[in-house]
Amino acid sequence: MSRLKDTLESGAFAFTAELIPPKGTNLDPMFKKADLLDGLVTAFNLTDSYTAKMSMAPIAAARLLLDRGIESILQLTCRDRNRIALQGDLLGASAMGLSNMVCMGGDPPDIGDHPEAKPVFDFDAVSLLQAITALSQGHDIHDNPLRGTPEFFAGAVTNPGADDLDWEINRVGQKIEAGAQFFQTQAVYDPAAYEKFANATAKYDVPMLPSIILLKSGDMARFFNEKVPGITVPDDIITEMDDAKTPEERSAKCIEIAARTIRGLRPMCQGIHLIAAGWESSIPQVIEQSAS
């Protein structure tokens, strides 16, 4: 049913990556990125109007990738759809052969390109996971029976760099109780700092895939530190990026930092989620160097 599920359950190390469906109908650039990484990446996250910027529904992009033999992880946000629509989308996804899901709240509309849009948030991530569990048991959230039972491999997100780590770890437990079978995390750049989170969540025995966003510059790293809750890029990494003056030097340093971070994280996790932010061509080198 799910290559991702089989990989994680076997104990093999998994790489996932992120693809953003187009704002339009031209899927060729997305297909090229997926084809480049097919065989290196177990499955691709298909974002759900990432940063609240309207784009093609990920369920369509995921189905078209599946037609090419490429597995996806369908992101489901609670921002835009109520519980009726979300359950309907889940049934539709299952009917189209899509089983991997990752549940999240979603970015608020006022930061996106339709700031006047009304947020829904009828569910939160825990409620959405509970709905997936209910559907997998053959009924909807009000115990109405289904005609045909879907199968899902449901995941969630977590933030190892949260200010209130005890609350975050408790939230991980709530999501597991609701049905989460794996987690992808906020971006991590300091394996030593991640160790505290890894030790605290080891009791749950659920696969964790820390994320790494490929750093393009020192300014990008400083932006994360100043503007993105839960992401901390160490000063020495920022200095390394600042010292890389040419595009070629910055690309090489980005790959080196990502690979080094993966090597540090590998003993504490079951996989890595790579967010290339347009530098998908660097991912094969990141994966190769991370193994050395």
Averaged pLDDT score across all residues of the chain: 96
Q: Which residue has 């048991």 as its token pair? A: 137
Q: Is 292 among the domain residues?
A: no
Q: Which helix (H) or strand (E) covers residue 135, if one does? A: helix 125-136
Mean pLDDT of the 158-170 span: 96
* pLDDT given at position 1: 73
Q: Is 51 among the domain residues?
A: yes
- Structural domain including 46 reads 3-158
pLDDT tens sequence across 90-124: 999 999 999 999 999 999 999 999 999 999 999 99
Pick the closest to residue 98 from 78, 82, 75, 81 (CA basis).
75
For residue 125, name the pLDDT band (cuts at 50, 70, 90). Answer: very high
Q: Is 15 among the domain residues?
A: yes
Pick the closest to residue 273 from 28, 261, 281 (CA basis).
261
Q: Is 7 among the domain residues?
A: yes
What is the reported pTM? 0.95
Q: Is 80 among the domain residues?
A: yes
Phi and psi, residue 155, nearest 5° = -125, 175
pLDDT tens sequence across 172-222: 999 999 999 999 999 999 999 999 999 999 999 999 999 999 999 999 999
Residues 6+ apart with CB under 8 A from 107: 50, 51, 52, 77, 79
Mean pLDDT of the 130-134 span: 98
How many domains are contained in the chain?
1
Other beta carbons within 10 angstroms of residue 159's beta carbon come to: 19
Mean pLDDT of the 134-139 span: 98
Query: Using the 8-state DSSP alphabet, how is residue 206 labeled?
Result: -
* pLDDT given at position 283: 97
Is 90 exceeded by the pLDDT of residue 232?
yes
Q: Are 240 and 252 in contact (CB under 8 A)?
A: no
pLDDT tens sequence across 66-82: 999 999 999 999 999 99
* pLDDT given at position 292: 78
Q: What is the CATH number of the domain that holds 98?
A: 3.20.20.220
User: Helices (DSSP H) in 137-202: which residue ranges?
Assistant: 165-178, 191-201
Percent of the chain with pLDDT over 90: 97
Q: Is 226 among the domain residues?
A: no
Q: Is 126 among the domain residues?
A: yes
User: Helices (DSSP H) in 1-143: which residue ranges?
Assistant: 3-10, 28-37, 58-67, 83-95, 125-136
For residue 277, name the pLDDT band (cuts at 50, 70, 90). Answer: confident
Q: Is 164 among the domain residues?
A: no
Other beta carbons within 10 angstroms of residue 58's beta carbon come to: 27
pLDDT tens sequence across 1-37: 799 999 999 999 999 999 999 999 999 999 999 999 9
